[in-house]
A and B are shown apart, each in its own frame.
Chain A
């Protein structure tokens, strides 16, 4: 594979907190335009791994490149090329929909014309044109999450990191959310998404399953299911996680 086509590459990426190893030498590549599912139980180290990739945590060991830039030394360049939707709601409840969009557009240096066009397009596609002046705090959770995702894509990043974007959202909204993810991938955006809904894993091009800080399995959902002779990713996950508790 051409290294320039790699959106993310991690080699032996490790994060220790004292004697606790949260992320233990993980190695993987994500190709440009791929929808990469980063699975794992709560506490498996998914969020810690994401934080190292986006520059919020310094790796204790190993290295990683995001959009071709080193996570240790080229954080400023990485920031311009990525979008991030954190586990917690990342918009401001006391600002209106439009004000939130303006804020992030401004922070990412969009021109007035770009901001105007993209705001209109975003509101149109979310069906929020009528609610542009409403406080974000008054929107239902599903709308908030969809808006947060759209805002994370506002500056058209090469890669978008989504940390449990569908937590607590109803099934219909989850379905719509994944349609948005596909639409972004179709435009060439690489999507790095963590989830613990195993049915969502089936939507990904490739998945990795983290168990106790390590990557226990990596591949396309179909290949992994065949390899472990299971019917669903859910079964696969349970098998791998059970193995971990036995060895632990």
Chain B
């Protein structure tokens, strides 16, 4: 029985990976740490909104609305006063985020057919994003109360005056962690695939072992496949870890097919691996390969993929460039599968883009890997 050259080479690669315990531990723990850190730190939803209430004439109507805020898990009432002058110092000292001011005749206006009941909602918008989010949460509480009054037809014939309906589709609780997890999977896959392949290939060049491999009967594609497959396995493990962490720690829903997501992850990993090979072909030291991989894959995958910043809000000249970032397409796919539960009929275009990218980049990678070293 002849031993396969490719098999022997892959056994060696697995040994390299398994023997370098520190790197392996870091690589295996990375998705876990990233999901947990990003999940807690990088969320745009707001919790524990400190609410100050000014209620000049407390009665059943105002207390009913106040209780709505108490019942909502997001708000915490920090102050109840009778005059609006109490609010200003609270805002200045940063002790309140939102103030709700009832007009003195709130209850009677609410009961009347003609005059609307007035509410003043003041929001600390020093951070505009947080401010907007807090405003919409507050309005959601108020309008749900208003709609309920209307539904109870009290008083008869009254129509809904504030009909602000804030519905957050696919993410009804505005959980930003749900949006980050698909992006994190892309990031981890890029890191393991592109970065580690680039480092491992350029290490062979730096140490001089690549020459010996190229002089051996191993074909260039065998060297590439032998390098890439073990990392593909590692990438696969990382996707599962990230999904498991997201599900256990943040209860991120998984609405679509796990198999489809794993398949798409493999496709995306192949694209990244090819980029890693291309980087290694153009660099001669591990350090250069690592920096190049950071620049070419990690930065665009984080900043231009729509993971952190919506592509719609990028300047017009920049947006087209996101199309060449593979992570941008993968994130659409992963979000579609995980959060919307859609399948290939809705995601075939993004999938096709990744397939074309994988084919082109792999072909370029094998070509760049000429047996002759200049």
Contact = CB atoms under 8 A, between A and B. Distances in A.
A102 interface: yes
Nearest to A100: B12
A197 interface: no
A132 to B, nearest CB: 15
A84 interface: yes
Contacts of B218: 107
Nearest to A82: B215
Given A79-B215, A80-B217, A105 B372 contact: no
B11 A103 contact: yes
A160 B208 CA distance: 17
Given A55-B372, A94-B20, A99-B12, A87 B208 contact: yes
Contacts of A199: none
Contacts of A104: 216
Q: What's the dominant secondary structure at chain B's contact region?
A: helix
B41 interface: no
Contacts of B374: 57
B208 A88 contact: yes
Contacts of A89: 207-208
B211 interface: yes
Q: Give the one of A86, A105, A115 with max B CB within 10 A.
A: A86
B236 interface: no
Contacts of A121: none
A102 B8 contact: yes
A28 interface: no
Contacts of A110: 2-3
Contact of A58 (B3, B208, B372): B372
B215 A111 contact: no
Nearest to B211: A86
Contacts of A79: 215-217
Interface string B217-243: 110000000000000000000000000
A163 B372 CA distance: 17
A108 interface: yes
A107 B208 contact: no
Contact of B5 (A82, A107, A111): A107
Nearest to B3: A106
B174 interface: no
B215 A103 contact: no
B118 to A, nearest CB: 74
Given A79-B216, A88-B207, A55 B371 contact: yes
Interface in A48-101: 51, 54-58, 75-76, 79-80, 82, 84, 86-92, 94-95, 99
A99 B12 CA distance: 8
A94 B19 contact: yes
Interface size class of B (residues with CB under 8 A): 20 to 34
Contact of B3 (A82, A88, A112): A112
A79 B215 CA distance: 6
Given A56-B371, A56-B373, A75-B371, A108 B216 contact: yes
Nearest to A148: B212
Interface string B340-374: 00000000000000000000000000000001111
A57 B371 CA distance: 9
B214 interface: yes
Contacts of B9: 103, 106-107
A57 B207 contact: no
A89 B11 CA distance: 20
B35 to A, nearest CB: 30
Given A79-B216, A95-B15, A105 B3 contact: yes
B5 A84 contact: no
B47 interface: no
Name the residue among B5, B208, B209, B217 with the largest chain A CB count within 10 angstroms: B217
B17 to A, nearest CB: 10
A109 interface: yes
Contacts of A107: 5, 8-9, 213, 216-218
B1 interface: yes
B209 A92 contact: yes
Contact of A92 (B1, B2, B16): B16
A88 B374 CA distance: 17
Interface string B1-28: 1111101110110011001100000000
A56 B16 contact: no
A95 B12 contact: yes
B217 A106 contact: no
A215 B301 CA distance: 54
Nearest to A87: B208
Contacts of A92: 12, 16, 209
Interface of A: 51, 54-58, 75-76, 79-80, 82, 84, 86-92, 94-95, 99, 102-112, 115
7 contacts: A92-B12, A102-B11, A103-B11, A106-B3, A106-B11, A107-B5, A112-B3
Given A94-B16, A106-B9, A115-B3, 15 more contacts: A54-B215, A55-B215, A55-B371, A56-B372, A79-B217, A84-B211, A86-B212, A87-B208, A88-B207, A89-B208, A94-B19, A107-B9, A109-B2, A109-B3, A109-B5
7 A-B pairs with the lowest CB-CB distances in the bound complex, closest first: A106-B8, A88-B208, A90-B212, A84-B215, A106-B3, A103-B12, A107-B5
